[in-house]
Amino acid sequence: MHPAKSVIFFTTASGAGYGLLIWLVLFSVAGLVPAEASFGLAAFGTALGLITVGLLSSTFHLGHPERAWRAMSQWRSSWLSREGLAAVLTYIPAGGFAVAWTVMGTNQGAAAGIGIAAAVLCLITVYCTAMIYGSLKTIHAWHNPWAVGGYIVYALMTGAVLMSAVAHLWGYEAGRHAAGVAVVLLVFGLIVKRQHWRTVTEGRSKSTAGTATGLGAAETISLLEGPHSEANYLMQEMGYKIARKHADKLRTYTYGLAFILPILLSGLAIALGGQAAIASTMLAVLSSGIGIALERWLFFAEAKHVVTLYYGEAYA
């Protein structure tokens, strides 16, 4: 599939924003962060800013962005509509929790209940985003639990890295706890990504050139002549190809930047403390952000739609 920059930015930025918002709720409910206005403004500004910018960027991929609001009307059958509706609804409790924290100076009691509602809606929104792709049986690389689970894990993972950085900047002990959570999630995310890529590389869809044409086993079917003399929209969007050597190199970069380096940097933050910990967590944010953007690019670039079977592919 053709990797659209707007969708890559959307899934990377909004995922991190939703993850940070979830950890803000959980850490406040656990009594690990005080309802300090300056910290709340910085943390909620970062979380809601990433979510909003990400959602707005996703509309750039539409042919008519001004009609994006109409997508929510199809929530009974469309995961895209459900995502849009859940995203809008999330702002209500998230905004209420932010006001309680920064204006009223509390993140406990009723405020915590509002925060929990916001966290639940964050998870629902990320799940709906994942299901936009995971529900497509026509794309083997996406229609599997590792692809769907990855969206949720990476959101929580990058959110924990951000939580660690912000808490360290304010000198909260919660920064060390967040760094520990980040290390665990980064390791888990590495495993999920490895399993997903194993599914993409080693697994094969049941759809073949033979099943597509009804002419028999895939090994006996070959394309005599292309259906088009020039490149068309389908091949540009759904027949995007990336060389195996380039994919392997980018996978290595993704492992290093999205997972391994942030694990080491978060571990350093736990061990060192002080200014060194702040620098380590900020570098972890930068590394994980670049790494997850690479992961998102590969998520689209390596996916093959079954329509490519009619253009010479033996397997989808």
What does the pLDDT look like over 151-188, one tens digit per residue? 999 999 999 999 999 999 999 999 999 999 999 999 99
For the segment 46-57, the average pLDDT, to the nearest whole number, is 93
**pTM here?**
0.90
The whole-angstrom separation of Cα 242 and Cα 313 is 14
Residues, the chain: 316
225 — pLDDT class (breaks 50, 70, 90)? low
- pLDDT > 70 in the chain, percent: 81
The H or E element containing residue 166 is helix 145-169
Domain boundaries defined on the chain: 5-311
Report pLDDT digits (tens) over 250-283: 999 999 999 999 999 999 999 998 899 999 999 9
pLDDT(60) > 90 = no
Please state, in angstroms and rounded to a whole number, the distance separating the CA atoms of residues 296 and 42.
Answer: 27
Is 29 exposed, middle or buried (CB count within 10 Å of its CB: 0-12, 13-18, 19+)? middle
CA distance 3 to 296: 8
Per the CB < 8 A criterion, the answer to whether 181 and 265 are in contact is: no
Range in 11-25, 151-165, 219-233, 298-312 the model is least confident about: 219-233
Paired tokens of 307: 């329509």
Q: What is the mean predicted confidence (pLDDT) over 293-312?
A: 83
Could you give the CA distance from residue 93 to residue 95 in angstroms, rounded to a whole number?
5
Q: Give the pLDDT of residue 242.
A: 72
Torsion angle, CA of 203/206/209/212, rounded to 10 degrees? -150
Per-residue pLDDT, averaged over 213-240, amounts to 66
**Nearest-CA neighbor of 291 among 3, 51, 8, 46?**
8
CATH superfamily, domain 5-311, is Formate dehydrogenase/DMSO reductase domain (1.20.1630.10)
